[in-house]
Structure 1
Amino acid sequence: MMHSADLQKKFNFKLIAGEAGLNRPINNTDLSRPGLEMAGYFSHYSSDRIQILGTTETSFFEMLSKEDKAERMNKLCRKETPCIIIARGITPPDELIDACNRKDTPLFTSEDATTNLISRLTSYLETQLAPVTSLHGVLVDVYGIGVLITGDSGVGKSETALELVKRGHRLVADDNVEIKEVSRNVLMGSPPKLIEHLLEIRGLGIINIMTLFGAGSILPEKRVMLNINLETWDRNKMYDRVGLVEETLAILDSEITKKTIPVKPGRNLAVIIEVAAMNYRLNKMGVNTAEEFTNRLNAQIKNQSLKEN
């Protein structure tokens, strides 16, 4: 859970008042500029949001009577309000400082312009408060594509990742991947701190990828874009041989492209995953080899049929 103290530390805000409330949780990614509240309209006050006061709000506030100033600031500070931030380094009104101290609402000041402050805060909050899940698998950056390798235990996920690292690609996480949904269909994967940079190879044990291959062999975070699911080759199962089958893997409320790769001795999985990543990039650029082959095949069948008739 994120608290007001975390926000102060991240953005180096200056604490003016309400120090006792620094442990207040932040649960809402939305921000609020309480302009109507300054005018006395609190019927729809979004009190659970971080409140941002800029030049407009503080200028209007100075036009109020002494009694109205105290009353508005008192209503602005509620027990569910995470914090109040004043932009542009504006000196906070005494009435606001007094209300924040009495109600333990953290009051910060920032030197940033209001719009810039809102943009930075929104981006940070959306990332930090994004829905999170964990998946069993290995996440590797292959040619700039975040490839999530999944499959049953012992199928060869970590060994394949090791081969990919040796071929110049980068490891993000082994065994357990923490995934955040920062927006619809945008998933960011990272390793738990306990196993960061580590890879488990049966027979060897746990190895440190960064120590063995250098800092260029690891990434702290990567967008998850393609799922390669490894499974033991089943002779009775029909596998896609053209590339027209569109599979997806659902993660939280998002979906990513999924490819099922059968595993048996003699198959070079690292090379297959490299090609899968490059082919994924081509597809995103509008080049679909499977469709081109199908169209070519259909045209040939049509021509042959015309000749026979």
Structure 2
Amino acid sequence: MSGPLTTRDLYNALRDKLGLRWIAGRGGSERTLQGDFPGAGSQGLTGPLNFIHPNRVQIVGRAELIYFAGLNEQLYRDVTSKLFTAKPAAVILTDEIDIEDEFVRQAEHFDVPLFSSTLPDNRLVNELQYYLTQVLADRTSVHGVFVDVLGIGTLLTGAPAVGKSELAFELISRGHHLVADDMPEFARITPDIVTGTCPPLLKNFLEVRGLGVLNIREMFGDSAIRQTKRLRLIIDLQPMGGNELKQLDRLKGSHDSRNILGLDIPEVTIPVAPGRNLAILVEAAVRQHMLRRQGYDAAIDFSRRQEALIAEKGGGS
């Protein structure tokens, strides 16, 4: 999102899904879950009540109620005071549990938003973690067409008018899937996963020069569209003449990587030249990528076979 995520944003986005009700602490509605608090990189964003490493969203369920019930009045006040003075973005009660009036009073006193949810604690934590991971992830947009080829999220890049959209349309016609045309949005949702989606305005559409804007969902059906896909491979389309083609490594091809949001994504450069069937070459590049992930490299296999043949002939002489 464009700015910091506030507690009010969280409540408005998940009110219906989590069955939220705002009980107290509306004065803290502009507290943020990102950007302006210490330890944001290592601090848990949400989870069960934690006093040692407080979460930004503290979850209070039936287990916490049992813990509170075992405290005397003074210790109960000390514990709840410690909870609220830590200034969490929100405290959420699970299962619509009833809490003591003193708890509500302290939430109001410290301006800590206090919500009640209809969900049990495990499901509530899972839903919150998924939402926050998606919303707070680092994001960027990359010029290209993002497609699902054989189950592999593949970004087609290259100079304008190189034929990215036409290639994507041919791939879709061959049974592959469109994620996003023009400017797919990418988010790093875990240390080793970058996913891509389509901006709402461009969803389902693909622009093909000479044909204009095409609605892929209307033309091919729902199965031709993917809402999101993990980015695993980049294919860069580069126009090349005869001399440039001769300079390419005929054994290993042109393999590299490109940094997207701090993660190195494998990249293959495919020459664009008259007579080359790019759709088949993209499918071949994806299949080659899948084999490499499984530990097989055809260039290494060929080199070993060649070395073995040379050694055999040398031994025979």
Q: TM-score range by the shorter chain?
A: 0.7 to 0.9
Partner of 2:299: 290
Answer with 278-287 or 112-121: which moved more: 112-121
1:123–1:140 Cα change, 3 Å: same
1:236–1:274 Cα change, 3 Å: closer
Aligned partner of 2:19 among 12, 21, 37: 12
Distance in structure 1 (CA, Å) of the matches to 2:19 and 2:225: 29
Tell me the amino acid that sits aligned with residue 181 of structure 1: R
Partner of 1:123: 130
Distance in structure 2 (CA, Å) of the matches to 1:240 and 1:117: 53
Partner of 2:45: 30
Q: Which runs of 4+ in 1 moved over 6 A?
A: none
- TM-superposed CA distance for 1:91, in Å, is 1.3
CA contact (8 A) 2:254 2:269 kept: no
Answer with 61-70 or 125-134: which moved more: 61-70
Give me the TM-score of the superposition, normalised by structure 1: 0.87
Partner of 2:287: 278
Distance in structure 1 (CA, Å) of the matches to 2:298 and 2:125: 44
SS at 1:160 equivalent: helix
**Where do residues 74-85 of structure 1 align in structure 2 (5 Å cutoff)?**
74-78=81-85, 80-85=87-92
Tell me, yes or no, if structure 1 residue 213 matches structure 2 residue 228. Answer: no
SS at 1:91 equivalent: coil
Distance in structure 2 (CA, Å) of the matches to 1:274 and 1:141: 11
Distance in structure 2 (CA, Å) of the matches to 1:113 and 1:303: 69
Aligned partner of 2:112 among 82, 102, 105: 105
- TM-superposed CA distance for 1:147, in Å, is 0.6
Distance in structure 1 (CA, Å) of the matches to 2:294 and 2:75: 59
Distance in structure 2 (CA, Å) of the matches to 1:255 and 1:204: 35
Partner of 2:261: 252
Give ranges in structure 2 of 5+ residues lacking alignment: 35-39
Partner of 1:59: 66
- TM-superposed CA distance for 1:198, in Å, is 1.2
Aligned partner of 1:204 among 199, 203, 211: 211
Answer with 177-186 or 65-74: which moved more: 65-74
Distance in structure 1 (CA, Å) of the matches to 2:254 and 2:206: 32
Distance in structure 2 (CA, Å) of the matches to 1:162 and 1:245: 24
1:255–1:293 Cα change, 3 Å: same
SS at 1:26 equivalent: coil
- TM-superposed CA distance for 1:108, in Å, is 2.0
- Number of residue pairs matched? 300
SS at 1:77 equivalent: helix
CA RMSD of aligned residues (A): 2.4
Distance in structure 2 (CA, Å) of the matches to 1:276 and 1:59: 58
Tell me, yes or no, if structure 1 residue 233 matches structure 2 residue 240. Answer: yes
Distance in structure 2 (CA, Å) of the matches to 1:303 and 1:132: 55
Partner of 1:266: 275
SS at 1:257 equivalent: strand
Percent of pairs with identical residues:
35
Partner of 2:146: 139
Cα displacement string for residues 138-178 of structure 1 (whole angstroms, at most 9, x for unaligned residues): 10001111110111111111110011111111110111010
